[in-house]
Structure 1
Amino acid sequence: MNLARYCLTSAAADMAKTALEVVGPDGSALETWSYGKLTATVLSVAAGLQDRGLRTGDRILLRIGHSSDFPLLFFGAIAGGFVPVPTSAQLTPPEASAILADSGAALVVHDGKTALPEVGAVQLLGPDDIEALKRTAPGSFAETQRDDPAFLIYTSGTSGTPKGVLHAQRAAAARAPMYRGWYGITASDRLLHAGAFNWTYTLGAGLMDPWANGATSIVYDGPREPDLWPNIIEASRASLFAAVPSLYRRILKYGEVTPASFPALRHGLTAGEGLPATLYHEWRERTGRELYEALGMSEISTYLSSAPEVPVKPGSPGKPQAGRRVAILREGGDSEEPASAGEAGLLAIHRDEPGLMLGYWGRREETEAAFRGDWFLTGDRARCDEDGYYWYEGRADDLMNAFGYRVAPEEVERALAADPQVQEVAVTALPARSGVSLITAFVVPRDPETFDLDRLASHAAGQLAEYKRPKDYRVVDQLPRTPSGKVRRKALGEFRKFDQSE
C-alpha cells in the first residue's frame, strides 16, 4: 500500500477531470491540475527525489508556503517511499531548526520565502531544484507496505514542545469512515478548504479525501479577510466548504450572507475546535445550510462526527463514525472499564484502529504511556448520552480546580455562550493568591456598547453550580488563537483587566 497511490488512483477518476484548483479572491482559477497532470507530476517529484540518493524512509522537511508545490512535494515524497515532514510557513528559524533536529531529516526543501533552519550538513533544495524535480521523467509508486511510515506531522505537546506524530501508509485509506460519516462526499463534489496546505486538517479533508473519492479539491490563495469568503465560496462553485468554527463566525459577522448565497453549496464542514450551539443555529438561520462538525486529533484524524446521515445535535460533535472503535473509560487508575451512560470519562480509541498513528517519533515511553491496555487515551474528556451522541468535556489537562472541585472549562463556556450577548468566550483558572485560583471568563461581546456584565453573571448563576461560575470576567476584543484557530488557553492570562469606564 502506498498512500499517494491510494489517494490519486483508487477512485479510478477520469484523468482529464480537475483534481485541484487554486483560486484567487474573485473565485477564478489561478491554477488547474487534472488528475493526469497531478499524478504525473507527483511521480516526477518522486523520481527526482530518488535520484538525490535518499534511502527509503528518509525524512524530508518541507519549508514551503501556501502554493501547489506543497502537495506536489508532500505526495511526491510519499510516492517515492520517503517521509515528508510538513511545517507551517510561520515557523521561525529556531522553531524549524528544532523540528529538523528532532526528525533527523536528510533533506530540506524550501521555496525561497519561508524561514530556514540551521541545516548544517543536511541537503538543501531551493526553488530551482523544485522546478527541476517537477521536470524529471515520471517514475512509479514505491511498493511500500501498509504499516510503513508515510508522513511525520509535528504537533504541540502538553508541555508546549512540538512532538512528531508518525503515520503509516494505511492512514489515508483509514479515513474512509469519514466519507459518509462526515462529508457525504461524491465524485461530483467540489470541496473548498479554507486552511493552509501544511495543516493536517487541509492535507486530509482538503486533499486526501476529495482525491480518494474522485472529487475536486479547491484551495484559496489570497487575502484572508472574512468578508471575502461568501464570494469565494460562490464564485468557485464549491459544493462543500471546510473551515474552523471561528471562520464561520467571522463570515457571519463581516460577510453578507443569506439563503440565496453560494447556491452550489450543499453544506459546511467544521473541525479544529468545538462548534458552539449558538453559532450552529446562526449559520443555519442565516444560510439555510447544515453545518456538520467532527472531532479528531493529529494522532488519528476525525472519528466523531455528524453528517447527512447523522442528524446534528447542537453542541455535540456527533457519534463515532461507522467502524470506529471508540470508548469512554472511567477516570483514574488503569482500568479499561467503560464509564456509565452520561458519566464523563476519558475518550479513547482502540489500538487496532487503522487510522491511529504508528507512534510519537523518538518517544517510545511517551507512546506507551498514551495507552491504557488496548486503548489509546486521546487526552480528551467526554460523555455519551442515551442516543449515542458524544459531548466534549474538554482536555483532561485543562481541568480547573475550583476550591477542591474539578471543573471542565468547556462546560462553563457552553453555559456562558448561551447568553445572546456573547460572541465568543474562553474560560481558564488564574492564580489569585498563593494556593488559590479563580475561574476566569474571557468574553468577546457581540456589541461592546450594550454588553451587560451583571446580566451575564446572572445568566451564569442560573446555569451553573456556584463553584463552577466564573469569579472574574474580562471583556476582550478577540481570543488568542493558534495558527490553526484553536484558543490558546495558556495565553489568556496575558489579557489586562477590562475597565468599563473606557
Structure 2
Amino acid sequence: MSDDRSPPARFNAARYCIGENARLRPDKTALILVGDGTEARLTFAEVDRAVRAIGAGLLGLGLVPGDRVMIRMGNDADYALLHFGAMAAGLVSLPSSPQLTEAEAAFLMENSGAAAVALASGCTADPASLAGRVVLDPAAIAALKARDPLPAYADTAADDPAMLIYTSGTTSRPKGVCHGHRATYGRRPMLAHWLGITDADVMLHAGTMNWTYTLGVGLSDPWAVGATAVLYNGPRDPLVWPRLIARYGATIFAAVPTLFRQILKYGDLPSHDIASLRHGCTAGEPLSTELLDAWTEATGKPLYEALGMSEISTYVSSGPTIPVRPGSPGKPQPGRRVAILPVEGPPEPLATGESGLLAVHRSEPALMLGYWNRPEEEAEVMRGEWFVGGDLARLDEDGYLWFEGRNNDLMKAMGYRVSPNEVEVVLGSHPSVAEVGVTELPVRADVSVICGFVVLQPGFAPDAEALLTWCSERLAAYKRPREIRFLDALPRTPNGKVQRKRLVDALS
C-alpha cells in the first residue's frame, strides 16, 4: 500500500470509506453486527444508500454543512450509519456514550453547539438542553433512512471539520478534539504497518461504537480497503470472542490488552478453532511482555501493539512490516514525522536514546485541526512545528520507541524523575502478578513513596516482601517501590485504561 501522505484537496471521509466500495463491490458484506442470538448484515451498497439517505434527511431538517450532530446511542448499526451519514452531508459527527449522565451530555451539547442530537431508546436528556435542537429518536432515524439519498457525497475540503471527539482536558471539563476529513486519509500508514489489512480480511473489533478506537479500527480502516467489519453488541463475556473468531472466520482481532488477558484466563481457547486468525492488534494501554508471551504461546498468533491518542490516532506500532520487540509499542510508522523533544527549552529534536516528549509534526494529515473553542489548551500542545501530547519516550538505535509514561504521571524519588511504566513492567513480570499500577503514595503530609498496586494471579497469597525483593534485583535503588498494596481490581476508565490517579483512593 502506498504511503502517500497528502490527501486530495477535495476529500470526503465517508465517500473514501464507503462510496468506492459501493461501486467496486456493492454486494460484499460490509458490516456484520452480532448480538445475543441475533445477527444483522449490511452490504456496501446498503451502507452507501443508508448513509446518503441519512445525509439527505439531516439537510432536509434544516441542518447546514458544519453543523454538529451528537450521537448518543447504543452499539447498533444506526450509530455507524449516522456517524458516516453526517460526514456524507458535510456535517460534523460528534460520537458520545449512552452512559453519559444528563449533565455530562448537556455539557457536550452546549459546548459543541450541537444542532441535532440522536437519542437511543432509554437515553434520557435534560429537556432544557434539547431546546432548539433537532432530536432524533429511533422513529426519526428510521424516517431518515427511508429518504431519497443524496445524489453524491458532499464536496468537502480535506481540512473541513468531520468529527468532534471529546476527551480529557487539563481542566475539569472534557475538551473537543476537532478532526478534518483528512484524518481518515491520514490513517493509511496504519493499514499496512500495524493492521496489515486488505480487502480479503475480516476485522473483528471488541469495542463499542461510541469509542473512536472502534469507529476507526473497527469500521473506517476495514472499509477503507474493502474488508468486512464484525462488531458485537451482546453481553460482555470473554467466552464470546474466540467463538466469534471461529464463527465468522475473523482474520484480525482488535481489543485492549485487558481483554486479551481475560480471553486467556476465561475464554476456553482450546475449545475453539481460531485458525483463521492471522494476528491480534491492541492499543489503549501498554502491552506487558508477560501478556505478549502468554498470548503468543497459547495461540501461536502475533500480537501487534500501537501507541496513539485522540488527537492523532495510532502512529507508532509493531506489525507485519515492523517486528515485535517486547516492551516497546514499535516504531513510528513509515511516513510519520515523529521526534523526541526536550521537556523544557527550544523544540529541537533530541538525539537517539535521549528521553523527552514524544512529538508529531504538524504536517501530519492525521493530526487534529485543533481543540474546539479551547485556544489556551491548543497553545499548550504546540511547540513550534510540533504537537506534543504529554507522552514521555525515547527512540533507540533501531528506531523502536520506549514509552516512559505521561509527563504529568512522572514520580519524584530521591531527586530523580521515575516513570511508573518502568516500575510496572518489572512488577508485572513477577509470576504472582496479574495486573499492576504504580504511583506515589503519601505516607506523611510532605512525603510520598513509590507504591505498587497489585492484583494477584489466582492461587497466590499476598507477599509484599517477595515483590519488593523482586524489584530490588531489577531496578536502581531510586526506582524501587517502597510499598506494595493489594487490590481486587485496578480502577480503569470505561475504555480499559488504568487510572493511576485513582489508585490511592481504591485503598479506601
TM over 0.5: same fold? Answer: yes
Where 2:507 maps in the other structure, the secondary structure is coil
Deviates more, 1:257-266 or 1:382-391: 257-266
Is 1:197 aligned to residue 204 of structure 2? no
In 1, distance between residues paired with 2:45 and 2:406? 43
Is the contact made by 2:289 and 2:327 (CA closer than 8 Å) also made in structure 1? yes
**Cα offset for 1:61?**
1.0
Is the contact made by 2:243 and 2:272 (CA closer than 8 Å) also made in structure 1? no
Moved over 3 A (4+): 10-13, 258-261, 448-451
In 2, distance between residues paired with 1:149 and 1:309? 32
In 1, distance between residues paired with 2:67 and 2:336? 31
In 2, distance between residues paired with 1:40 and 1:9? 9
Is 1:61 aligned to residue 73 of structure 2? no
Aligned counterpart, 2:98: 89
In 1, distance between residues paired with 2:134 and 2:43? 31
**Cα offset for 1:454?**
1.6
Which runs of structure 2 are paired with 1:386-405 in the superposition (5 Å)? 386-405=397-416
In 1, distance between residues paired with 2:460 and 2:65? 61
In 1, distance between residues paired with 2:442 and 2:117? 43
Is 1:336 aligned to residue 359 of structure 2? no
Is the contact made by 1:259 and 1:287 (CA closer than 8 Å) also made in structure 2? no
Aligned counterpart, 2:5: none
Which runs of structure 2 are paired with 1:78-477 in the superposition (5 Å)? 78-117=87-126, 118-139=129-150, 140-258=152-270, 261-333=273-345, 335-477=346-488
In 2, distance between residues paired with 1:435 and 1:406? 17
**Cα offset for 1:25?**
4.7
**Cα offset for 1:126?**
1.1
Where 2:239 maps in the other structure, the secondary structure is helix
* Alpha carbons of structure 1 residues 116 and 448: separation in structure 2 relative to 1, 3 Å: farther
Is 1:72 aligned to residue 81 of structure 2? yes
**Cα offset for 1:495?**
2.1
Out of 26, 30, 46, the position equivalent to 1:19 is 30
In 2, distance between residues paired with 1:444 and 1:13? 50
**Cα offset for 1:157?**
1.6
Q: Which amino acid aligns with 1:76?
A: G
Is the contact made by 1:261 and 1:287 (CA closer than 8 Å) also made in structure 2? no
Deviates more, 1:267-276 or 1:469-478: 469-478
* Alpha carbons of structure 1 residues 388 and 325: separation in structure 2 relative to 1, 3 Å: same
In 1, distance between residues paired with 2:106 and 2:416? 42
Deviates more, 1:69-78 or 1:365-374: 365-374
Is 1:9 aligned to residue 19 of structure 2? yes
Aligned counterpart, 2:3: none
In 2, distance between residues paired with 1:337 and 1:144? 35
**Cα offset for 1:228?**
2.3
Q: Deviations over 1:315-350 (max 9, x none)?
A: 1100011100000112212x1222222221100000
* Alpha carbons of structure 1 residues 375 and 145: separation in structure 2 relative to 1, 3 Å: same
Aligned counterpart, 1:500: none
**Cα offset for 1:257?**
1.7
Normalized against structure 2, the TM-score is what?
0.95
In 2, distance between residues paired with 1:337 and 1:259? 54
In 2, distance between residues paired with 1:456 and 1:13? 58
Is the contact made by 1:91 and 1:115 (CA closer than 8 Å) also made in structure 2? no
Q: Deviations over 1:108-151 (max 9, x none)?
A: 11122223243222221211101100101111211110100001
**Cα offset for 1:71?**
0.5
Is the contact made by 1:63 and 1:116 (CA closer than 8 Å) also made in structure 2? no
Out of 48, 56, 60, the position equivalent to 1:39 is 48
Deviates more, 1:256-265 or 1:119-128: 256-265
Is the contact made by 2:177 and 2:372 (CA closer than 8 Å) also made in structure 1? yes
Is the contact made by 1:480 and 1:492 (CA closer than 8 Å) also made in structure 2? yes
Where 2:273 maps in the other structure, the secondary structure is coil
* Alpha carbons of structure 1 residues 259 and 459: separation in structure 2 relative to 1, 3 Å: farther
In 2, distance between residues paired with 1:97 and 1:311? 45
In 1, distance between residues paired with 2:295 and 2:273? 12
Where 1:349 maps in the other structure, the secondary structure is strand
Is the contact made by 1:167 and 1:357 (CA closer than 8 Å) also made in structure 2? yes
In 2, distance between residues paired with 1:250 and 1:159? 34
**Cα offset for 1:300?**
0.7
Q: Which amino acid aligns with 1:163?
A: K
**Cα offset for 1:198?**
1.1
Q: Deviations over 1:72-113 (max 9, x none)?
A: 000000001110111011111111111111101111111222
Is the contact made by 1:3 and 1:78 (CA closer than 8 Å) also made in structure 2? yes
In 1, distance between residues paired with 2:470 and 2:462? 13
In 1, distance between residues paired with 2:172 and 2:257? 23
Is the contact made by 2:12 and 2:156 (CA closer than 8 Å) also made in structure 1? yes
In 2, distance between residues paired with 1:400 and 1:66? 38
Is 1:492 aligned to residue 499 of structure 2? no
Out of 30, 36, 39, the position equivalent to 2:39 is 30
Q: Which amino acid aligns with 1:424?
A: E
Q: Which amino acid aligns with 2:13?
A: L
Deviates more, 1:110-119 or 1:83-92: 110-119
In 2, distance between residues paired with 1:339 and 1:414? 25
**Cα offset for 1:159?**
3.6
Q: How many residues align?
A: 494
**Cα offset for 1:260?**
6.7
In 2, distance between residues paired with 1:316 and 1:269? 14
Normalized against structure 1, the TM-score is what?
0.96
* Alpha carbons of structure 1 residues 115 and 431: separation in structure 2 relative to 1, 3 Å: farther
Identity of aligned pairs, percent? 51
Is the contact made by 1:25 and 1:232 (CA closer than 8 Å) also made in structure 2? no
Q: Deviations over 1:336-384 (max 9, x none)?
A: 2222222211000000000000000001222122111100002100011
Q: Deviations over 1:418-437 (max 9, x none)?
A: 11111110001122222211
Q: Which amino acid aligns with 2:332?
A: P
Q: Deviations over 1:442-479 (max 9, x none)?
A: 10111354443221111100111222111211111111
In 1, distance between residues paired with 2:441 and 2:88? 48
In 2, distance between residues paired with 1:194 and 1:379? 27
Q: Which amino acid aligns with 2:18?
A: L
Is the contact made by 2:94 and 2:163 (CA closer than 8 Å) also made in structure 1? yes
Gaps of 5+ in 1: 498-502
